[in-house]
Amino acid sequence: MMRKFLVVALVLGIASAANAVVIYVDGSDPGESIEIGEGLTPVISVVGEDASSWLGYIIIEEGGTGALGNAVNLDAAGDMGAVSPYAEAGWGSGYELTIAMSPGGAPAVAVGPQFTLDYVGGVLGETVTISLFVDPEYGTPADSVTITVVPEPMTVILLGLGGLLLRRRK
């Protein structure tokens, strides 16, 4: 009985550690998907929900348009936190992320935004998936968000007004 309890506790501990990091878009949790206006550059944040060290990858999955750029390592990533470009055929491209601190390091790893990146170059009507993979579970994303690029509101309004004018002439 005790052995079963220890196995369950170990599995739950690993699962909770794998979900300790999430993706935010423009400062809030978008859920599973979000629409952005054409030409806009949303800020993607990697947010730690606990103060532990980790290694992971944030990528635009293979076949997605656009790119992640302007990666910034924030203080919450610790004094040994690092970000470096990463690409792997069949998987995607983005950045390798390291959250760590040296003994007695300042700043220490902290809860909250640890990295920010810009999503640029999205194509109108295209949908991309940005995924965050965290050690040791590289086969399953810790978090993902699907971004669809839609026309900016003014374009939609102008198209609607043009359609009304054409209809009125008939």
CATH for 46 = 2.60.40
Residue 9 lies in a domain: no
Asked if residue 1 belongs to a domain, the reply is no
Q: Which has the higher per-residue pLDDT, 40 or 167?
A: 40
Number of domains, the chain: 1
Provide the pLDDT for residue 8: 38
Q: Tens of pLDDT along 6-37?
A: 443 343 344 444 447 999 999 989 888 999 98
Q: What is the pLDDT of residue 145?
A: 95
b/e 66-100 (16+ beta carbons within 10 angstroms → b): bebeebebbebbbeebebeebeeeeebbbbbbbbb
Query: Which pLDDT score is estimated for 162?
Result: 73
d(CA 101, CA 48): 14
Q: Is residue 8 part of a domain?
A: no
User: Does residue 121 sit within a domain?
Assistant: yes
Predicted pLDDT at 98: 93
Q: What is the pLDDT of residues 86-139, one digit of tens each?
A: 999 999 999 999 999 888 878 889 999 999 999 998 889 999 999 999 988 788
* Parent domain of 34: 19-169
Average pLDDT over residues 55-65: 93
Considering the domain boundaries, does residue 6 fall inside one? no
Question: Is 52 part of any domain?
Answer: yes
